[in-house]
Structure 1
Amino acid sequence: MAKNVAAPTSSPVDEVTVALGERIRAMRHARRLTLVELASASELSHPFLSQLERGLTRPSMGSLERIARALGTSQVELLSVDRPATTGDEVDVVRADEGSSGAYAEGIARMLVSDPRSFHPMEFRAENVEFGDFFDHDEDEWMFVLDGTVEIDLDREGRPDVLAPGDSVFYAGGTRHRWRSADGRAYRLIIVKEHPARL
């Protein structure tokens, strides 16, 4: 059953909410989904999503997670709203204490760029010992293990692959994937994903 999770207003809530709505709309268009299709996939109401895309309401974290999964992306990517690149800004330095961060799969990710780019590099940290749900999205993705040991399940016949520090894996868009700690300890990854709205 489709849900409304916030009461719409008649004017934009704030700049961040407007930018988030624009980002959701851009990603929905990149996925070639109608509002009705996104509403069905996210189990949220069509009117609510319409208000959200116009910046007239803000979502709860639960509804944002539903939207992210329906779009094949993550909360952190939706919340790291692109800001216009400055003229001639070919360098983007993100310090260790900077970068948008938020929920991603079973852990926390931090975006490692701030300006619009053709790919999304992220630092990912987690310690989950159980596989979560499979993710799949249209974008290619590459993962590099910095710390810990990770078991990655690419939904293929055979056993999942175990990756140690220094190992990496690439999988094409559309590949179902999920991962977990292989030894019960925390792990840290670098994930590089194509920009969802730029395919």
Structure 2
Amino acid sequence: MLSDAASTNGFETDLGARVRSLRRERGLTLKGLGRLAGLSHPFLSQVERGLAQPSVGSIERIAAALDVSVAHLWAPPRRGDAVRIVRHDEGTVDERADGVFREVPGEPGEPSLREWTARGRRWPAEPSVTRGEVAIYVARGAVEVDLDGTVQKLEEGDTLRFDGTIPHRLRRAGGTNTRALLVTS
């Protein structure tokens, strides 16, 4: 007869390894994680060793205690072959009145990255709306972001994060070489 550990598909072992790694990174003991998650430390030990099949509720509690998303616990670990350099001339370019957008190529399901090189100081006629969270990082210059009528000014090095369903548009507030990175998850 096969043991339960021998019959798993590796999911429990991978999940357990991620939980153990994150727990150790945060300097937590099994008991400490158990207190934060409201789960027993013997159960968490079994999870880490791939011997337990935690419920979705237990995984949600573990993720919250470790301050990560459930998807982060479930995602397969990144391998060395997942490393990719994207060169400055790669990606599709969309030239608009408000600037040049370069879509940085990535894998399906990964956050979308766009590099924005600003042109004028005029607002685009229409705001954008997108699903997911948007983060705008100003690499050079200064940018103003209109979030449904509220304008935020960002200086070089600033980042603005917001729900992409809020109508938004941006314009250059700094010099002619203003550049920002837009990330949509």
Taking structure 2 as the reference length, the TM-score comes to 0.50
Residue in 1 aligned with 2:162?
A: 171
Distance in 2, matches of 1:183 and 1:144, equals: 14
Q: Tell me if the contact between 2:97 and 2:119 (Cα under 8 Å) persists in the aligned partners.
A: no
Residue in 2 aligned with 1:192?
A: 183
Residues 149-169 of structure 1, C-alpha deviations (whole Å, 9 max, x = no match): 111111245xx1111100010
Q: Tell me if the contact between 2:90 and 2:105 (Cα under 8 Å) persists in the aligned partners.
A: no
Corresponding position: 1:147 with 2:140: yes
Distance in 2, matches of 1:111 and 1:193, equals: 11
**Which of the two has greater strand per residue?**
2
Taking structure 1 as the reference length, the TM-score comes to 0.47
Residue in 1 aligned with 2:90?
A: 98
Instruction: Answer 1 or 2: higher relative contact order, Cα 8 Å, separation at least 6.
Output: 1
Distance in 2, matches of 1:173 and 1:116, equals: 19
Across the aligned residues of Structure 1 and Structure 2, the Cα RMSD in angstroms comes to 2.4
Q: Tell me if the contact between 1:146 and 1:166 (Cα under 8 Å) persists in the aligned partners.
A: yes
Residues 35-84 of structure 1, C-alpha deviations (whole Å, 9 max, x = no match): xxxxxxxxxxxxxxxxxxxxxxxxxxxxxxxxxxxxxxxxxxxxxxxxxx
Q: Residue 171 of structure 2 aligns to a residue in which SS?
A: strand
Q: Tell me if the contact between 1:93 and 1:113 (Cα under 8 Å) persists in the aligned partners.
A: no
Structure 2 residues not aligned, in runs of 5+:
1-79
Larger Rg: 2
Distance in 2, matches of 1:183 and 1:95, equals: 26
Corresponding position: 1:162 with 2:153: yes
Pairing partner for 1:124 from 116, 119, 122: 116
Distance in 2, matches of 1:145 and 1:127, equals: 14
Count of residue correspondences = 106
Q: Tell me if the contact between 1:130 and 1:180 (Cα under 8 Å) persists in the aligned partners.
A: yes
- Structure-to-structure mapping, 1:71-90, within 5 angstroms: 89-90=81-82
Distance in 2, matches of 1:104 and 1:141, equals: 20
Letter in structure 2 aligned against 1:116: P
